[in-house]
A and B are shown apart, each in its own frame.
Chain A
């Protein structure tokens, strides 16, 4: 009779609901404060103070929901997977734009809605839960007073509060306790329903294998982590590294192996762990498909890594060039200028034509050396490009070109440094080649925006017949352009004329 009431289970569930409610009281209060701070921050974001407030409040909101989710997983057995972290945001733009970027995050809006409704929901549920608790407490208190004949209450209703009445009241505390358990047991169901509908993330976008697994396992939150053996990490479908869930987090994972080697892990609801044969069977059945997907994920991860490392190399090289240019300018060039000045002083002091002629000769050679040094510094990294941008830098390049050339640069805005240097060096290298080999009458340089690309065009009317593989200069250019996702096309027929065309994606 008692066993069929399943009292243990009910009391345990009631206790869990109580614990979850207790944790949710501070969460509800802090959540309301955070939402108020967020709204204030958004309203004040025209002033300087708004943005930090907004960022802080958004972080607080996320943290609270994370705590709430963990509590729901721990106490309500909801197995809710983590809500995706906020996408990384660029630090560019004014405070308004950044505030808008933060506020337009749909994940954050869900979190804010959740936190804004929480105080009311929790207040109502706590109120409902308190009624039987207070009744039971009063009954026990009065019962003890009656039995022990202590305390200040003389009568309970028509009866004087003696031992008999006390015993009756204590006996009535038992049904009150049943009501307490029943109320919190019911609250468990209510809280689970609310938590499941509000906290669970929308199903992540994913490949066909995931869909198939989700369907066959009956767990829509299934995710696949692909194992990359050479880097010993798990990555998701897009190749981003991910962490496997810790035990006790409400999520569990099952390894997928193929021919004895680890291929992937299926991340799933911890409740499925009890039927791990099912997961194992699903894993075995899908291991080939998963291995294929793994290779794709591996490839994507490698490509992403390669891009980043190439960009790093070019940026490091540019940085080194800039430093050498600065050192030349501040060191050797200043020294030589000082020597030239002293020579001029010396010339006014010496007598005798021979000596004067000697000093003049020295001064002339010093001038040439200085000029060569400047040219060298410019070739390493043009200070003008860093300071004034593409237009002036290419203009100066054309002016100094030995071959007659003219430039038309219609890009006024500043672009990221790697793109600017790539465009600059394309023009510099092309003009050098024109002067050295082309025997051209004239060369035309054109730099403009073409759709969502930066177009750099250098054309001459020289002899043509350029071999791309021959010089290290052109290959260097290709590497440099590749680092910024650019392409280089050289059109150089043997019957004359060379056309060099570089295209670089316009930065978003």
Chain B
């Protein structure tokens, strides 16, 4: 199915994205499309989208997505908003900063990576701006299996082994302390006990941590 779809230029992708976003909130007309799109919306570009049957123009003013264009736009939006989530949650940037970076990011993501990221983030349903993230194949599958693959360390069962995905903290000192003990992204750890303190085995060391710290360690379960 992917193969049939035409290869989209970056500019065309930006336009489709803009149309989708506008349709979510208001009408999409030629004028506010120009204002909203990151790339310049030339008449040639619109014309080529029209000939590819991705969009249509009603009353020579309202721009609408056709089914094929809609499914393309959905994927782009999904990539963009997942990228925002990734940048905010994992890299710890602020919401305002995430927007610009996500614009760059969305063009780099292949379909396979997108679903990995979606899985990593636990199939989020909303982006940091609180707009819905379109569901992907992985989300539909995941809603059948209850648990997300990435979870925080305090959610592990006792005796369960997992690999550290990321440490969710803005505090450099905490990050350093954990990684000095070997709890860093990529490391394998095992939860040994939860009460009265969490005990994590990492390498040959047993490390006791409080609940709040365990909650900040995000892991992939196997």
Q: Do A and B come from one complex?
A: no
Chain A interface (Cβ within 8 Å of chain B)?
none
Chain B interface (Cβ within 8 Å of chain A)?
none
